[in-house]
Structures are given as C-alpha cells and as structure tokens.
C-alpha cells in the first residue's frame, strides 16, 4: 500500500512559534505536492517538489523533499492565525493519480 | 486567477437515483480528474481523463460511475444508481500536464445520499 503518513496529526501553537509537519512513506515518489484545505473547500496547491533534496520557500513556508524521495517536510516560521488549516501532502508515482496523506490539522492561536 | 469551478455545491438525493456532478476545469488544462473525500477520511483518487478517454481509474470507480466531457468546457461525473456510501465531497481537478503534477482542485460538491 502506498501510504503517506503525516505527523503530527494535530498541532496547536501560539502565534509566532515555528513548526514542522512531516510526510513519510516507505515508497519512492516521483513528485510530492503540499496542499492546504479549509473546511468544506477543495485542497489549494501550495508547492510541488520533484527532485530529491529539493528545498522550496514560499514566504514563511519552507518545503523539503527527502533525498530518497520518500519523505517531505513543511516548516512554517513565525506562524500566524491565518496559517490555521488542514495541511495535506500528496505524492505521485509516474501515474495520473495523487495519493494523499493523512493530513495535519494546524491551529494557530493569537 | 483561473480556477476550477464545480456545480452544484450541494446535492441531496435518494438512494438509487442518478446524479451528475459538473466541473469546469481551467481553460488551458488538458488533464482532468475526480477525487472524493468521505467525511473525516483522506482524499481518494477516482479517475483521470485525457484526450476524451479515461487514462486511469481506481477500484472505487466501478460500473456505477462514468465521466464525460460533453463539450469544450464541462467535465462531468455521473453516478448511475447512488448508494448511501457514495455520500462524500467530490472534487474535480485539472492540470496542464499529466503525471499528477500540479493538479488544481475545485471547491467540491457535497453529495448526500439518503
């Protein structure tokens, strides 16, 4: 089974703190994408990483693809209440389908 | 900014009835997808569609499901005879290229089967 496990499952932090969300698998993925989903809405694409070891930055968000392309991390610096949401990683293995992770629900308190 | 749109936003139907969920993908995209998300569960792939035919489908996408691109803009998912377990959010997505890179999702249709 091509499972993508995310940790932690839930995260509650104060505004200004840093955090890291992990996405792990025993399978190799050709690319990995991170999405953010608000309640009752569709996932919104944040970033796609395709090269092992790749690091991409999006303002306060830093995404890394593991060297072996089996894992990824999302680091948020100085979290803000607007970062609150469900963060999903999703991988693909040279097919059309995305395999979604289990999700990390982030709550940032003012 | 271009976006994927879906209609209706909510649909309530009786078990055994047919439903058609509609999507308008981003205009220059060539690859189209349907996913579903049962309440509290992961987003699951249903089907991908390119060049007017299904390119890949999951085991969920059985004979009760079909997809169509009836004109140059719409992409539809039909469930022929709905079951209670079909209740879920259904998301349409599209991408410029295949291989699951950079798929853009619509807001979803919440389907409730009674």
With an 8 Å Cβ cutoff, the interface of chain B facing chain A consists of: 4, 31, 33, 35, 42-45, 48, 50, 55-56, 58, 89, 91, 93, 98-108, 110
Q: Is the dihedral of CA B67, B59, A24, A79 positive or negative?
A: positive
Q: Does A44 touch chain B (CB under 8 A)?
A: yes
Q: Does A47 touch chain B (CB under 8 A)?
A: no
Mind listing the pLDDT tens digit for each residue in B58-81? 999 999 999 999 887 899 999 999
Best CA proximity match to A89, nearest among A69, A106, A72 = A72
Question: In which band, very low, low, confident or very high, does the pLDDT at B2 lie, cut at 50, 70 and 90?
Answer: confident
Mind listing the pLDDT tens digit for each residue in A70-94? 999 999 999 999 999 999 999 998 8
Distance between CA atoms of A46 and A77, rounded to whole angstroms? 16
Question: Residues B30-51, buried b or exposed e (16+ Cβ, 10 A)?
Answer: ebbbbbbbeeeebbbbbbbbbe
Indicate if the pLDDT at residue B110 is higher than 60: yes
Mind listing the pLDDT tens digit for each residue in B18-62? 999 999 999 989 999 999 999 988 999 999 999 999 999 999 999
Residue B104's closest chain A neighbor by CA? A45
Which stretch of DSSP H or E encloses residue A75? Answer: strand A71-76
Indicate if the pLDDT at residue A100 is higher than 60: yes
Indicate if the pLDDT at residue A2 is higher than 80: no
């Amino acid at each position: 089974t091509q499972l993508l496990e995310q940790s932690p499952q839930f995260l509650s932090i104060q505004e200004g703190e840093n955090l890291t969300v992990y996405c792990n698998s025993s399978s190799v993925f050709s690319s990995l994408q991170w999405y953010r989903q608000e309640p009752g809405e569709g996932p919104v694409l944040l970033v796609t990483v395709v090269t092992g070891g790749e690091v991409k930055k999006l303002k306060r968000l830093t995404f890394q693809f593991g060297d072996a392309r089996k894992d990824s991390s999302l680091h948020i610096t100085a979290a803000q209440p607007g970062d609150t949401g469900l963060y999903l990683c999703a991988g693909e293995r040279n097919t059309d389908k995305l395999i979604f992770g289990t999700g990390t629900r982030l709550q940032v308190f003012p | 900014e271009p976006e994927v749109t879906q209609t209706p936003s909510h649909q309530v139907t009786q078990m055994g009835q047919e439903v058609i969920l509609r999507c308008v993908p981003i205009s220059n995209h060539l690859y189209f997808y349907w996913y579903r998300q049962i309440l509290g569960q992961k987003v699951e792939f249903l089907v991908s569609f390119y060049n007017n035919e299904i390119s890949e489908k999951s085991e969920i996408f059985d004979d009760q499901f079909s997809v169509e691109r009836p004109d140059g803009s719409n992409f539809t998912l039909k469930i022929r005879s709905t079951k209670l377990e079909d209740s879920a959010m259904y998301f349409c997505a599209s991408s410029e290229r295949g291989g699951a890179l950079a798929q853009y999702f619509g807001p979803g249709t919440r389907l409730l089967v009674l």
